[in-house]
Amino acid sequence: MGFISPQFDFIDQRFTHRRIKTLDVICTENVQAVLDDPELVVDDDPDLVNQIIDPDTGQLQPGVSVVVTDIDPGVSVVPNKVCNIFVVTWQIVDSTGTVLAGPFTNVVSDEVDCPGAGVGPSQTVVQKHDIQVMVCLIPVDTDDNGEFDTLYGTIDIDYCLVVANEVILKINAARPFCP
């Protein structure tokens, strides 16, 4: 038999029962939300369309860029579903920073099925990360004269959605010996 002394039982005396709140992930998904109705960017102005879009390639003119100036995400949780909304403000600028068109504000929304979301007594926590906003400009020849005179914009938002429920765990834990 060995010698047993309570003086070497430092940590056992510090174990206590505790309840801690943590998150239990119930759903993760890569999501793509798309603007339902394209935004009218330029109406019946072929000169401005040609300042923005190269008529031969359909690409942006050199030095022209689409700038997202603000994005405000929102969320609502209903039983087994997460409803997302993004309010996106954007504009088209040239290389000197002069605004050629805009600012435009669009609302992009979607809903994601997520079993267990908004169900039960615990709070549902929603996180969106890796949000990527892409604006696509679409030139149109509305009067069929062979020249683009109207420009529409649509928005595509890709993001990762993580949904979790708060849970309470009962644990038996001790504070570290050397804090």
pLDDT in tens, 46-104: 888 888 988 888 888 899 999 999 999 999 999 999 999 999 999 999 999 899 988 99
Token pair recorded at residue 110: 């979607």
Number of domains making up the chain: 1
Residue 130 domain-assigned?
yes
**What's this model's pTM, rounded to 2 decimal places?**
0.77
Cα angle 11-12-16, degrees, rounded to a multiple of 5: 100
In a domain, 174, yes or no: no
85, 108 Cβ separation under 8 angstroms: yes
Q: Name residue, tokens 């330029």.
A: 42
Domain that holds residue 25: 16-169
Strand partners, 64: none
**Under 8 Å between Cβ of 56 and 49:** no
Residue 179: pLDDT band with limits 50, 70, 90: low
Q: Is residue 177 included in any domain, yes or no?
A: no
DSSP, res 13: G
Instruction: Assess contact for 98 and 62: CB atoms under 8 A.
Output: no
